[in-house]
Structure 1
Amino acid sequence: MKNNGKKIDLRVTRTHKLLTMALVDLLCQKGQLFSNITINEICDKAMVHRTTFYKHFEDKFALLSFTLNQNLQDYLQMDVDERLKEPLQSVSKILFGSVLEKIVQNQKKDEAFNNFLIKYIGEIFRRDVLELKKRGKGYSLPIELVAEFHSGVISLLVTWWIHHIGDDVTAEQMDQYYYQLVNEKIWLE
């Protein structure tokens, strides 16, 4: 099997899988905050040497990003138009009922985790808006400004929603809130 012209190294795949599973297990433990998790804890749980960890990841944030990418493959393969027109419904399809929901619930009180998640989600939406530009979509405002604005709004709405999951706010309601907060005509230009 090849990847970008290079043969896939099963040892690398195995190491990534072990480290990812270890991080997920730690993030799902009640009371265990991402900020308090150490590289040593991750390595011990994964049974991977610390030097091996650093051969693959710069730090635990890089591992978290990799882990999120692995768990969001279905979401990232959705059509960009669908993700942008129904942003919270799109997010709900991959978040709720998955290990990500448990992680996010357990990490609600961790400021570092939440800040990382906001930036991570924002970057996805920023890339999506810029992808529409590549497809020829025109805007009356600078596309970079539109991308920055909407990525920030979506990130904050997802964060708010996560903190209010017990309030039974549906994905459809969240998309309605989104369109009430922003100029919904921007997607219709």
Structure 2
Amino acid sequence: MKMIDKKVDLRVTRTHKLLTMALLDLLCEKGQLFSNITINEICDKAMVHRTTFYKHFKDKFALLSTTLTWVLRDYLHMNVEDRLQQPLQSVSKMLFGNVLETIVQNQQKDEGFNNFFIHYIGEIFRRDFLELKRRGKQFSLPIELVAEFHSGVIRLLVTWWIQHFEENVTAEQMDEYYYLLVNENIMLE
């Protein structure tokens, strides 16, 4: 019975890999926007039947989430405190110099992709703050509020950074902006 279970796991792993690689290839194609990619295109590229796709994923956004998690696996294994101490520098480590940079550049004009990606990044940081709470870190405010606040600021900064990509703003500068935004008394006079 154990051999059958292992075989099923290998088939699931293989199917996920084929679909993930197909989506990555499509996202990296110049001019190919995520919003225009169809399930049929993904399945054709992966050589996987459409019904098989739906056995594994609810829709292409679920596949995109799995694909981003696979692309960001090294980043997600980083120490939570390191990611939170220098949030934009840690984002830059995962964003620049790999396939994700190509994807973000190619998808820059795709509002659907960008909204999903920014939300995905924000969720990582929200979970990081909740992990700190689980580890016993004390906060003077409700942790859920702190997590939402910081993940919102990081989402905003990543969005701004992607939109101003050609201005060559460094990750260090972005972290400086982050700390200024969360620590300064920015008041309208």
**CA separation in 2, counterparts of 1:75 and 1:164?**
23
State the alpha-carbon separation in 2 of the partners of residues 47 and 134 from structure 1. Answer: 42
Give the corresponding residue for 2:74: 74
Task: Write the deviation string for residues 111-151 of structure 1: whole angstroms up to 9, x where unpaired.
Answer: 11111111111110000001111111111111110000111
Provide the rounded CA distance (Å) in 2 between the counterparts of 1:32 and 1:179: 36
- What is the letter of the counterpart of residue 40 of structure 1? N
Which amino acid letter does the alignment assign opposite residue 152 of structure 2? G
> What is the match of residue 59 of structure 2?
59
TM-score by length of 2: 0.91
State the alpha-carbon separation in 1 of the partners of residues 128 and 183 from structure 2.
Answer: 18
Q: How does 1:99-178 map to 2 (within 5 A)?
A: 99-178=99-178
* Equivalent-residue separation in structure 2 for 1:110 and 1:166 (angstroms): 17
Instruction: Please give the TM-score of this superposition, normalised by the length of structure 1.
Output: 0.91
- Partner secondary structure for residue 182 of structure 1: helix
- Name the structure 2 match of 1:11: 11
In 2, the alpha carbon distance for the partners of 1:96 and 1:121 equals 15
Structure 1 stretches lacking a partner, 5+ long: 185-189
2 CA distance for matches of 1:38 and 1:142? 41
- Equivalent AA in structure 1 for residue 74 of structure 2: D
RMSD of Structure 2 on Structure 1 (CA): 1.4
* Structure 1 residue 183 displacement after superposition: 2.3
Aligned residues: 180
**Runs of 4+ residues over 3 Å off in structure 1:** none
Gaps of 5+ in 2: 185-189
Counterpart CA distance in 2 for 1:27 and 1:10 is: 25
How far apart are 1:156 and its partner, in Å?
A: 1.5
Residue 128 of structure 1 aligns to which amino acid in structure 2?
D
**Distance between the aligned counterparts of 1:156 and 1:25, measured in 2?**
28
Equivalent-residue separation in structure 1 for 2:10 and 2:131 (angstroms) = 32
Q: SS state of the match for residue 58, structure 2?
A: coil
In structure 2, give the amino acid aligned to 1:134. Answer: R
Partner of 1:45: 45
Secondary structure at the aligned position of 1:141 is classed as: coil
Q: CA deviation at 1:61?
A: 0.2
